[in-house]
Structure 1
Amino acid sequence: MIRDGRQDSDSGGGRQMDRELTIATELAEWATRRIRRPRAIGDVSDVREKDGPADIVTATDEAVETHVRTVLRREFPEYGVEGEEHGVHAGTPGAPHWLIDPVDGTTNYAHGIGWCSFSLGLATPQGEPLLGVVADPWRQEIFTATRGGGAHLNGHPIHAAAHSTLTGHVFLTEWAAHAHWPGMDHLLRELATRHCTVRIMGSTALSLAQVAAGRATAAAIGEFHPVDGLPPLLIATEAGAVAIPQLPPHNTPLLLTAPGAAEEATALWQKTVLNHSA
């Protein structure tokens, strides 16, 4: 188990997150093993559409979420649970709630592309992040954070990049499902003029987590969904990244940026995205 570097973190109510983080990390380790099971090339027998051809689910998504929900409800019966595939289980009023995306990047997974993630978070009843875990099954990396406890990768502290500009560095973004989101084209054009290398990889949680690791100077999404966005948002900000806004409403844009590039990135964000998404 990955345990080095874990720190207790105050939840805002005087309670520690050590047990929650231990179990969340163990579930991430289990999920990485489950997701890495071989799938035959071209096998679509376990794939079905949800809301359209670009919104799919596999048997792995459902099996992972079912197992994780079972463990969390057993270990934390008073907590709520919200999952990508199986909806909401209400907990005790005033208790935190878990957020599960069993396979973030299902399209990549279903097509044999090794870039997807397992995402698990814990939030207050008001939706503020308390704990975040993002696991990359293919690189066997587990990003973790608790509020006030810093960010870690496989137990080692991580920090956002020290870059002072977007120029020459990596900027990660994602489609809104299969479509461009308002302001996305304007943003991409401006980034190109700055010689900033843009990548669209196919997993919101994993892309946002790269800012925490210092691999990407910034990352942005057009539609924030807590089940896959809140855990890496906490991880990135605990690693020192700047979030614009600090906690987005559902279905609104989010920018994460290294602190040294925050002034440039924020001005660009205002010009290209916020002015086109109102």
Structure 2
Amino acid sequence: MHPNRTRDVDLDHALAVAEDLAARAARAIRTPHEGGVREKAGPADIVTRTDETIEAYVREVLHREFPDHGIEGEEYADRPPADPTAPHWVVDPVDGTTNYAHGIGWCSFSLGLAAPDGTPLLGLVADPWRGETFTALKDRGAHLNGTPIRAATHTTLTGHLFLTEWAAHAHWPGLDPLLTALAARHCTTRVMGSTALSLTQVAAGRATAAAIGAFHAVDGLPAYLIAKEAGAVALPDPPALDEPFLLAAPGVAGEITTLWAASITSQH
């Protein structure tokens, strides 16, 4: 079998396992946080015991249920697939750790399954604080708590919402001119603090567009699949690792792509 072909995967079973893991993670995240915060790369890059406990449990369950699958996580070393034709999971146990550690109720649990070539097969993003779970299976649509969702039908950025995330504590190259251009169109920007949760707001039709300075699979791939299955436009498509990434409602894709291209170009 070609190494980029995935052998048959029971995606319904995989989704059921993912939803059980999300429910457990949501309960852990809602539990009052008590200490256990330490730095990783610097003061603006932190991890808590909750991050580590959730990811360790997720890895244990996934290894038991899908022993041949690989696992890529936020807190522990990657485990490659035992079989090169097997897919791999991506997990961010608490996406928005800084918010979580400071008692701000905007963070998420992100879990996805991808083919050997990186094509997303399953995406889940859970919001513990609002009791919302976004899910998608490839070519089977996107759902919020089991109800189908679609990207917004807006045809202009004006009067609507754009979400983004900083690169930890810093603006990413191209962000400032993009925000200036959006403001000139009376498009309101919010920086909420969870990449996965912000991107899924485009899928739910709440935000008209969202962008990040660097795409990472653990917190971006599940939301990317959910948004695509909800009809959103992605740029680039598929995403490029560690490169800027944009999601938009179809009706504003042309407008924001023009602003996006000019902003990124201005930084080079």
Sort the TM-score into its range (normalised by shorter chain): over 0.9
Look up the SS of the partner of 2:18 in the other structure.
Answer: helix
> Which residue in 2 is equivalent to 1:89?
79
The partner residue of 2:47 within 30, 37, 57 is 57
Q: CA deviation at 1:277?
A: 5.2
Q: CA deviation at 1:162?
A: 0.6
CA distance in 1, matches of 2:8, 2:113: 15
Look up the SS of the partner of 1:207 in the other structure.
Answer: helix
> Which residue in 1 is equivalent to 2:146?
155
Question: Aligned letter for 1:153?
Answer: L
Look up the SS of the partner of 2:135 in the other structure.
Answer: strand
Contact kept, 8 Å, 2:157 with 2:252, in 1: the verdict is yes
Q: Please tell me whether residue 21 in structure 1 is matched to residue 15 in structure 2.
A: yes
CA distance in 2, matches of 1:13, 1:98: 15
Could you give the per-residue CA deviations for residues 108-166 of structure 1, whole angstroms, max 9, x where no partner exists? 00000000000000111111111100000000100000110100000000000010011
Question: Aligned letter for 1:251?
Answer: D
> Which residue in 2 is equivalent to 1:33?
27
Look up the SS of the partner of 2:205 in the other structure.
Answer: coil
Question: Aligned letter for 2:59?
Answer: R
Q: How does 1:161-180 map to 2 (within 5 A)?
A: 161-180=152-171
Q: CA deviation at 1:14?
A: 5.5
Could you give the per-residue CA deviations for residues 49-77 of structure 1, whole angstroms, max 9, x where no partner exists? 00000000000000000000000000000
Q: CA deviation at 1:13?
A: 5.5
More divergent stretch after superposition (152-161 vs 123-132) = 123-132
> Which residue in 2 is equivalent to 1:209?
200
Look up the SS of the partner of 2:46 in the other structure.
Answer: strand
Please provide the CA RMSD for this pair.
Answer: 1.3
Identity fraction in percent: 65
> Which residue in 2 is equivalent to 1:48?
38
Contact kept, 8 Å, 2:6 with 2:86, in 1: the verdict is no
Look up the SS of the partner of 2:92 in the other structure.
Answer: strand
Contact kept, 8 Å, 2:7 with 2:85, in 1: the verdict is no
CA distance in 1, matches of 2:60, 2:7: 26
CA distance in 1, matches of 2:9, 2:101: 40
Q: CA deviation at 1:266?
A: 1.0
> Which residue in 1 is equivalent to 2:69?
79
Q: How does 1:123-142 map to 2 (within 5 A)?
A: 123-142=114-133
> Which residue in 2 is equivalent to 1:245?
236
> Which residue in 2 is equivalent to 1:8?
none
CA distance in 1, matches of 2:61, 2:8: 24
Could you give the per-residue CA deviations for residues 204-248 of structure 1, whole angstroms, max 9, x where no partner exists? 000000000000000000110000000000000100000001122
Q: Please tell me whether residue 184 in structure 1 is matched to residue 175 in structure 2.
A: yes
TM-score normalised per structure 1: 0.92
Label 1:15 to 1:75 Cα distance change in 2 as closer, same or farther (>3 A): closer
CA distance in 1, matches of 2:223, 2:267: 23
CA distance in 1, matches of 2:73, 2:96: 15
CA distance in 1, matches of 2:208, 2:258: 15
CA distance in 1, matches of 2:76, 2:183: 40
Stretches of structure 1 lacking an aligned partner (at least 5 in a row): 1-10
Q: CA deviation at 1:276?
A: 3.6
Look up the SS of the partner of 1:50 in the other structure.
Answer: strand
